[in-house]
Structure 1
Amino acid sequence: MESTNNKIKAGLVEEEDHLSSFRKRNNRLIIILFSLIILLGLVIGAITISFMHKQYTETSRLINSNPAIESFCTYTRFPFDCSDFLYSIIKPKSKINPNKLFLLSLKIAIEELTSITPLISNSESNETQIESVLKNCSSLLEESLSQLSQTLGIFQVNPDVMTHTDEQRSDTTKWTITAEQDLASCYDDLTKTESTAVSKISAKVYEAKVHVSNSADFLLNYRSVFVNFHLASTRRYSFDFRLGVGRITSGWNVENAFYIYMIGLQYLFLIVLFCSLYRIRRR
């Protein structure tokens, strides 16, 4: 009898040890699953926020962009410099067209060149090479200024590039490109001197060259610019809140929805498994 009791006690102790080991293992699994649930929740949240932020950024850019600036700068060789500068002086919602931006670029380039002339005159250097470069630059700037002034004279009377004759467009394009080439030669000569005495002049020449380059690119690509401008204007001015919401929700394509769906199922499975283990642990 006593032997039987001892066997029963030993069995109970062994079962208790087994249950204790099982509970400890469950505790570890519960902690791991709980950590996975939190981690997966953070991943889902991060993916969703990242996606919504991307859609919001694109929508905000559409709302805050100016069709004329975007179209004008797209076909330039310095699109980012072009748009950054124009947005710094023109409000996004301003009603302006590429023709006016072309005239503005010409006028700014002429103003820049006019301000450079006194800088060259006041520059003094004991080095023969620098003196020679400055003298050559002064001549090139005068030629550029003359070419740009002729171009401005034609378009200031009638800013609409498309209404001018082919001959006028050809002449003004040639003048503008020649002016840009002269400025490029001047800038290259100034930078080769590696002199701090002419650094301010070279910076101003570069700024003028960029504006002249933008003007030349517009004359070369004006048809494409206006096609882009009319399309952008249609998108911009027909935009409202409902379209904004539609633009955001339209990004939820089948692939994105499938990924979110699969992650959600895994998340739900982990929660169910966590609850099951927790119930076993309580027992």
Structure 2
Amino acid sequence: MSLAGDGSTHHSQSFFDLRVRICFRGWLLNLHLVAIPMFDRHTAGNIFNMLVKFLDALYGKWRAKLIGMSSDGENMMTGRHTGLVTRMIACAENPVLRIWCALHQIDLVVKSVVEELAGGEWIMFAWSFSIFLRAQANLITSMAIKCPKKTNRWTHLGRLLQFFKDHCCMIVAYAETHRPEQTPTSAWWVITFAVSPAINAINVTFVILQNRLLLIAQQEQHIHTLIGSLVVMFCVEIVQENDDDANTCQSGRCVSWSMRSSSTSATRGHSRSLATTT
């Protein structure tokens, strides 16, 4: 069998949904076993202890039947394994299952995409540049504001990018005078202005999905709204099945699965905003 768990809320009550997946006569059965009320903080230790107590009371031999357990890529969770929850089940039709909740799925995808921008150099420079700015006491005094800290939480990244955009002229002038090698390039600014609106839209969806009064059935609509916003923002087109270049990358166009976008049209508006600001 395989155990899959996910925390959520219903009518302001936090609970842990525990599912059991078993293979029976060639069929994979997904059974919602129980919803366990949660009154403590949602840390890995509290979740683990709660599950052990419940399973010991339910079925004392559960350890001998469980093939494996892991968690997703959330830093506070145990069993991290390349950002995926992988369950091995003795079933030829479904040998591997990957499970994660909506918020964690969005978080993992966004982290993966951001870390691949410009070969990983964009996000690394954003992190190092924020450290440099946070250590400049004279700049902080003259601006009357301190550069936000870059952490793994995407709301913090959104605040950092917004800070870069709002104060780009002052921080560029300061960097050119005090540390020229730390001055952002024009290409880095273009990516920053293009990515920032997307991160802000994703953060809004994060806040909505974390609402304790939101039902699980209502999450899908908010996710579709986010996808629609990103599609419009980056001028994404749907690739038709009979399109010859559906699986190729043409000059100036990026194709991924069933969608494609022109790099020129996707960044034109953000580049214009950058030129106006600078």
TM-score under structure 1 length normalisation: 0.25
User: Greater strand percent: which structure?
Assistant: 2
User: Greater helix percent: which structure?
Assistant: 1
Larger Rg: 1
TM-score under structure 2 length normalisation: 0.25
